Amino acid sequence: MFTLLFVVFLVAGVLIRMWLGARQMRHVIRNRDTVPAEFAGRIGAISHERAADYTVARVRLKMWSLLFDSAVLIGLTLLGGLAWINDWVGSFISNDFWHQLALLGAVAGLLGLLGLPFSIYRQFGLEARFGFNRMSFGLFMGDAIKGLVVSVVLGLPLIAAILWLMRSAGTAWWIWAWAVWAGFNLTVMLVYPRFIAPLFNKFSPLDDPALVDRIQALAKRCGFALDGLFVMDGSRRSAHGNAYFTGIGRSKRIVFFDTLLAKLNGDEIEAVLAHELGHFSHKHIFKRIVFSFAMALGVFALLGWVSQQIWFYEALGVAPSLTGGNQGMALLLFFLVAPVFMFFLTPVASWWSRRHEFEADQYAADHADPNHLVSALVKLYDDNAATLTPDPIHSAFYDSHPPATIRIGRLIAAGARLPSADVPLAQPA
């Protein structure tokens, strides 16, 4: 019965994603030659066409990746791939605990290798074709190796602890495992800005006294304590611009991509940061952390139950061991299969995220000049080749941020105005 349920959800999920992707491509192509009236004169026809082509190429790649990933999932579960890997690992590792750990590592390594061609094409094919890639292949592989090392150093102890708890902590092991997982994630949030992120990028203090004073004044007005303002060498990897907050507690810091500073002037940067501060003022980050931890507790509880059910293994192509442990296999099956069912919650999560974005935009409009936020958004949509004409249903299902016309339309309704098409957009000093 569970096999049928799994297949139905998997097929339904694939069909819905393919349908949504097809809708997105058709809608974007249909509007490729017409810049929305709200942006006419501000975003040129060539830029609009480039954004449409970039969007279609990304959707097409995601659709191929979806089909490939679904085939791999079927191969690992119903066609016996996991069972074969489990037997292979067991042929040279007799200790049950190390067998479970090695099984997890082998499958993780396999999935990483299978996904590598898509990552390489995405970076050096798709992104390069549209002028966004600035990464050498050596840097790409260096990032991949460093990411692998960090994953092993951080993830191996966590997985080992969870496996040990599954074996030793009785039927309530999932409560202790959740507590370990929660503690691990909170720790990573604290140490990531100072110790992990610098392994991949260079971070330098923002060296613009006027802009620093301006940002510090904005943070003070908003009651936000900062641990520092930093510039990241994002241009080594991509032409995309961004900025983000990282850390929790007293370790909060603002990080600018150097590409962003090259595109926005001081007024626009202040408005964008006011938007980000809006997320903290409305406690969006805190709410998301609490929600994710609560969801994780439910997930661990469900895992604790299904891991004891023989039908769970057999329905997914695995014969559970009657003499050794099944902890590693339970983790693999659960976290491979869970996204198939969780996919149908995507539009709810997207709606919640868009609601937060509207609230943060309103906060920015109250604490900075909304005209500067509109100006910044127009620049970022243009420079990042973000489509101005997404399919409404695709957008409602997937997008964590509101579509450009709706987002800017709300700001205009609140009193902002689009930059005049007769006046060039202000550039960084």
Q: What are the residue numbers of the active site?
A: 276, 361
Cα separation, 165 vs 172, in Å, equals: 9
DSSP for residue 32? T
SS3 246: strand
- CA 71, 75, 81 angle in degrees (round to 5)? 155
Torsion sign over Cα 141, 144, 148, 154: positive
On the 0-12 / 13-18 / 19+ scale of CB atoms within 10 A, 162 is buried
Residue 203 φ/ψ region, left for φ over 0, alpha for ψ in the -120 to 50 degree band, beta for the rest: beta
Residue 8 neighbours by CB distance under 10 Å: 11
Residue 283 φ/ψ region, left for φ over 0, alpha for ψ in the -120 to 50 degree band, beta for the rest: left
275 labelled ligand-binding: yes
279 labelled ligand-binding: yes
Which residues, including other chains, have CB under 8 Å from residue 48's CB and lie 6 or more apart? 32, 34, 35, 39, 388
- Residue ranges for the known binding site are 275, 279, 357
As annotated, the binding site for Zn(2+) includes: 275, 279, 357
